Amino acid sequence: MVSEIIDPVTGYCRGCHRTFKEISEWRDYDDEKARELLLQLDKRDPDASEFEGC
């Protein structure tokens, strides 16, 4: 079964724009790593106004 949530072209979640690996490891990120990822998410989808999570 193919997930409809993860875009097959970009590999990003259609909602939060994180990869499956980033989603699964999110709870283990320290504050600095989480902030770095959130900054990257803005570049992945400049139209996203806030992080909605998955």
pTM above 0.95, yes or no: no
**Tens digits of residue pLDDT in 1-54:** 556 889 999 999 988 999 999 999 999 999 999 999 999 998 887 665 455 556
The vertex-39 CA angle with 50 and 19, nearest 5°, equals 80
Rg of the chain (C-alpha set): 11
Q: From residue 36, how far is each of 4, 12, 27, 43, 46 by CA, in Å?
A: 26, 16, 14, 11, 15
The vertex-15 CA angle with 42 and 47, nearest 5°, equals 35
**Tens digits of residue pLDDT in 22-34:** 999 999 999 999 9
